[in-house]
Amino acid sequence: MRTISISGKDFPELVSRVSGTGDYTVKMATADSASFDAIFRIDGHPASNLQITIGDEGRSIAFSEKKSANHEGSGLAFNAFLWGTPPAHLEAGEAGSQTSIKPGKAGARAVKR
């Protein structure tokens, strides 16, 4: 579920929630990046097909070759842009903590697409 807020000087704020799902097929994966073919199904819309590349250790994302900062808070990969660099070594089932960005900053970064 994603919440989208649009506001401006001459119109009232519009807030909506969008839910959907995505199916990903891995095309390429390295330690620094991964590429996928994806089909997204979002409520009320026909399915969309995209090519996705996550790069720069998760800090950037490209949808059909349009690259931007990765501001996805949930998705198929850990987002170092939002959550910081993870510990160098993790084991299955291990718990840890990570300092995230300050509240409100994800929205500010999302606007800079």
- The tens digit of pLDDT for each residue in 81-92 reads 666 776 677 677
Domain with 36 in it: 21-71
Q: Does the residue 94 lie in any domain?
A: no
Q: Does the residue 67 lie in any domain?
A: yes
pLDDT of residue 35: 92
* 111: region left, alpha or beta (phi > 0 left; psi from -120 to 50 alpha): alpha
Q: Does the residue 96 lie in any domain?
A: no
| pTM across the whole model | 0.58
SS3 62: strand
Q: Does the residue 83 lie in any domain?
A: no
Q: Does the residue 90 lie in any domain?
A: no
* Number of domains observed in the structure of the chain: 1
User: Nearest-CA neighbor of 58 among 36, 34, 42?
Assistant: 34
Q: Does the residue 64 lie in any domain?
A: yes
Q: Does the residue 35 lie in any domain?
A: yes
User: Per-residue pLDDT tens for 39-97?
Assistant: 988 877 899 999 999 988 778 889 888 998 887 766 666 666 666 776 677 677 776 55
